[in-house]
Structure 1
């Protein structure tokens, strides 16, 4: 066990620098150089980060003999893993590293918080408390954390949409986002091309935000239902209005309103992005804010 702890400590420290390197490589590629080599480097380092994160969680599972999602530290590592995987897939689909420029600082901040701010006792692999010794642990927590990651990425795209809508890209910014578009034209034609490009990019962000939130919402629903069943098994009640449960319901309602507005009311683009952006902040309150601002049934180990 001691040898594993030493290995985990070493990998944890190395991963911090890899994430920082990945962040700078994406920023350098996106804002300055726009060279294929930097794009390849950022993708390889992203995959390496995912592999190391999975290795840390898998090592805990193998050595401590419990599903490694029992406290805030482990849930953050899991969330970082899903966020990086989702970002990698989204960048392939969107053909731009725009999402990575915002997601990687988020992942790096989360990882830095988990490894440097959380007390050492909260980072230790310990035995599960009686209420967590259930087969529901793997299903409920993994689905909830996956839904959080997917909804965060979807709502982050909504935030990007609003930023593009508020701060119209200049010709220089357009070239940064997509260097394949040529602007060999006069000023009026350039303005039209830039406007058309902005609208096209916003359409893509709007569509993928909708798809991701559409995927994350049913996962959140399944997670809440499985949590209610588990709560009845552990505490004798399906719902107790615990702060975490209440904010999970608020999060569910926000994204339900988003989907209702799109599917029934026909809202799209800016109006839908505003609701999605609200969801981005609400989900962080549900995941982290509740753990530090209130006490409840989910307070043990500051579980995510």
Structure 2
């Protein structure tokens, strides 16, 4: 194992443990708020994780002379970096530790996936001819940013459905009149809100994030079509990746259409957003492992 790969491997190992501990702190503060109420530990650990991933990506960019999005390992690192950044922004805006309870587990499993990838998939390798283009940074980074935003937005929708379901099934789940919070250095940190207020907050932020992620997905698909024409002589070839990207676009277009024009909110819109959560995973990972196409070489080793 050369020095470069050893640095990546060790750094990912350490930050995987950091995110695991962050997730434990978030859930401890939610379930046992009065037992050692150290509220900001999770947030600080996620900040360190985001900073460490930034170093890893910049290091690869400088040493390899191309934007680090050429294989599965690099795309997972970039996706985790994007999600942790959105996590930090959301937690700052909402001042709710529930954002960390939702986001930190998925960040942990993404990093765990990186950690257990074979060393061959972690090593940087020369770009294949089709990837030796300025479109690599434009298209792939835009798609990964859109994936991260849509994943977070749709995950909030999924959480809305689960939370709403259990709230209806159990009158003791979280009472509507109860709000649990702490004052931390003059800043109010909310652990849980009244049910209606909390669900409304989740629904609004899910809509806002999906509303930003959808244009990014659109730009990513269009730039990919232009790049495909430059590389392969065709704007669209119904490659499995392209097909599922279109399906993903249609799902979230339906979400925004029904939300804006049909005024669907709450359970109805969250149901569509939740479907999008699973569709993204099929588009991002499932197609690459289960189907062969023009995009396969960019992610796995045959």
Q: Hey, what does 2:251 align to over in structure 1?
A: 254
> Where does structure 1 lack aligned partners over 5 or more consecutive residues?
182-195
So what's the TM-score if we normalise by structure 1? 0.89
Q: Secondary structure at the match of 1:296?
A: coil
| 2:293 pairs with 1:292 | no
Give the total of aligned pairs: 287
**8 Å contact from structure 1 (residues 26, 38) kept in 2:** no
**8 Å contact from structure 2 (residues 174, 194) kept in 1:** no
| 2:233 pairs with 1:232 | no
Q: Hey, what does 2:137 align to over in structure 1?
A: 138
Q: Hey, what does 1:193 align to over in structure 2?
A: none
**More helix by percentage:** 1
Tell me the C-alpha RMSD between the 2 structures. Answer: 2.1
Q: State which drifts further: 86-95 or 291-300.
A: 86-95
| Residues 90 and 34 of structure 1: CA distance in aligned 2, closer, same or farther (over 3 Å) | farther
Q: State which drifts further: 30-39 or 255-264.
A: 30-39
**8 Å contact from structure 1 (residues 122, 301) kept in 2:** no
Q: Hey, what does 1:185 align to over in structure 2?
A: none
> Where does structure 2 lack aligned partners over 5 or more consecutive residues?
183-192
**Alpha-carbon distance in 1 for matches of 2:209, 2:215:** 11
Q: CA deviation at 1:200?
A: 1.3
Q: CA deviation at 1:59?
A: 0.9
Instruction: Give the 5 Å matches for 1:66-77.
Output: 66-77=66-77
| 2:202 pairs with 1:205 | yes
Instruction: Give the 5 Å matches for 1:31-42.
Output: 31-33=31-33, 38-42=38-42
**8 Å contact from structure 2 (residues 179, 194) kept in 1:** no
| 2:110 pairs with 1:110 | yes
**Alpha-carbon distance in 1 for matches of 2:255, 2:156:** 14
Q: Hey, what does 1:10 align to over in structure 2?
A: 10
Q: Secondary structure at the match of 2:32?
A: helix
| 2:240 pairs with 1:243 | yes
Q: CA deviation at 1:97?
A: 1.8
Q: CA deviation at 1:178?
A: 4.5
